[in-house]
Structure 1
């Protein structure tokens, strides 16, 4: 039992590390892209002063590592931030869409698990047959 808990803990740590590294890569790539959210929001006809003011308001004038650290701290404290696309808290957007996502995941599991069990049982019962090879 202790070994199983250790293995589960190890998997959780590796998954958290993978998510952390992916977030760094995505943040870095998005920081290297030309333009930013301020330019995108205001459009091409915006004055440099307006773009600079919006950058300061959004915190885009700070160094990328500081912005990443602020985002990560906010995420870990339960505040994933504000959506720039629709100016709503990200937590509200997630809360609105989570029930339908969970329903979809539950229905998918309810169909796929029994189907997988049936296929596994049939494959074991008819080992080496055409049915086994087809499955």
Structure 2
């Protein structure tokens, strides 16, 4: 096994662990889920570039007679990239004491100020950081409001 294969195994394992954590573990942490709201995706351009580069690497590996293990690892990395950039939907998960946003736990007590912009972006001001929450469905903002009032 070459150094490149070892690096690929580590990267594939890390991305797989993140995908499993995001899909199965995070919704079960810190109590019962009160509300899970899908968010707008960011630009898919980065994902297309990443997967495109992996396709080029797979082609070069097969054209130059590279090892089968490297091809399988690159293919697994490409599939994980497709899942993470196109299939998986980002979400905000509300719990009794706080919420998960971008896989980070934030307690309700940290929120100093909340505003709603004209284009439907919920802005939460924390101590030193501002969260911009772009929901996919504008009606979800009312559900978020009800959860925030109920938990306060």
* Bigger strand fraction: 2
TM-score by length of 2: 0.23
* Bigger helix fraction: 1
Q: Which has the larger radius of gyration?
A: 1
TM-score by length of 1: 0.25
